């Protein structure tokens, strides 16, 4: 496996600056943030554009590949995580269209995975959201598959604040729902960008998930999770994680990375682990973010070779 990082934690650096630092500090791949350039979503750790996929052409893609190769880096995936099932149909159409641009950029760059969210209407039921999924997603996957690109869905429920209550803004959160989605889209090019941290606070066995969904794991995120026991005491499990789940860097939370990586090796996953930095204790300035990535690198390196 190769160890990399998601570039979204560096919103003020250019891709060249990120590559210079990552290559010099022992990382092997980048998961490159590809939100629309010059605007759009500004959610925390989103809205970052290290490649303008709408204007990328063959020459630009060759320059990106040369830049990364010269720093000893590859690309694990292109990253774009909006709400593809947004209840505002105009916004939904815009983000669906941008996903197509990201897929086209992946083709130019020779990248075979694009990471994203399924999305959800937070005010709708599971049944209603699954119905919307069946209406929207088969065509998105068909277009990507026709171009040789796989779609890897992250399993974060996206339920962190009152405006995302009660369902959250990402459908793809549990084994039951994944099975429902894979029944609708049996294409093996539609699978998971598996993040064990989101399974911890849902009390889902992340090792079992690896074994049960081995053939659908297309990419892996490395993020950890700390459970605030006082917050859990105050708010209870029916708050769905609000006020008691704390994203941490790998090694600083409750994920057993030795066991998780062991399961990945056991099922034959041998591609990439991409560190997703969402730890508030290591944000606020560039040096803190870099320090956080190095802590995560050192925690994971014994298991990722």
Burial 241-274 (b: 16+ CB within 10 A, else e): beebbbbbbbebbebebeebbebbeeeebebbbb
Neighbouring residues of 208: CB distance < 8 A, sequence distance ≥ 6: none
Residue 80 has pLDDT above 90, yes or no: yes
Residue 214: the pLDDT is 98
pTM exceeding the 0.75 threshold for the entire prediction: yes
Second CATH level (architecture) for the domain 2-303:
Alpha-Beta Barrel (3.20)
240: confidence class by pLDDT, cuts 50, 70, 90: confident
Domain boundaries, the chain: 2-303
Residue 38 has pLDDT above 80, yes or no: no
């Amino acid at each position: 496996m190769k160890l990399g990082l998601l570039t979204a934690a560096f919103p003020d650096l250019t891709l060249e600056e990120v590559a210079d630092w990552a290559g010099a500090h022992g990382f092997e791949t980048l998961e490159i943030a590809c939100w629309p350039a010059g605007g759009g979503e500004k959610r925390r750790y989103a809205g970052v554009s290290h490649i303008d996929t709408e204007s990328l052409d063959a020459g630009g893609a060759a320059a990106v590949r040369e830049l990364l190769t010269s720093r000893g880096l590859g690309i694990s995936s292109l990253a774009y995580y909006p709400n593809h099932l947004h209840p505002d149909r105009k916004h939904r159409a815009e983000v669906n269209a941008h996903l197509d641009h990201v897929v086209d950029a992946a083709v130019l760059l020779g990248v075979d995975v694009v990471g994203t969210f399924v999305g959800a209407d937070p005010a709708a039921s599971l049944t209603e959201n699954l119905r919307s999924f069946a209406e929207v997603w088969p065509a998105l996957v068909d277009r990507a598959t026709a171009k040789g690109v796989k779609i890897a869905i992250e399993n974060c429920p996206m339920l962190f604040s009152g405006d995302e209550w009660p369902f959250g803004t990402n459908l793809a959160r549990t084994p039951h729902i994944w099975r429902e989605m894979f029944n609708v889209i049996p294409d093996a090019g539609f699978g998971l960008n598996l993040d064990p941290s989101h399974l911890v606070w849902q009390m889902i066995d992340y090792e079992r998930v690896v074994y049960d969904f081995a053939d659908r794991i297309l990419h892996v995120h490395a993020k950890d999770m700390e459970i605030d026991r006082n917050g859990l005491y105050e708010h209870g499990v029916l708050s769905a994680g609000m006020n008691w789940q704390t994203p941490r860097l790998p090694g600083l939370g409750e994920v057993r990375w030795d066991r998780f990586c062991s399961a990945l090796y056991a099922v034959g996953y041998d591609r990439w682990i991409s560190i997703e930095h969402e730890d508030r204790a290591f944000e606020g300035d560039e040096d803190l973010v870099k320090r956080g990535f190095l802590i995560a690198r050192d925690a994971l390196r014994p298991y990722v070779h």
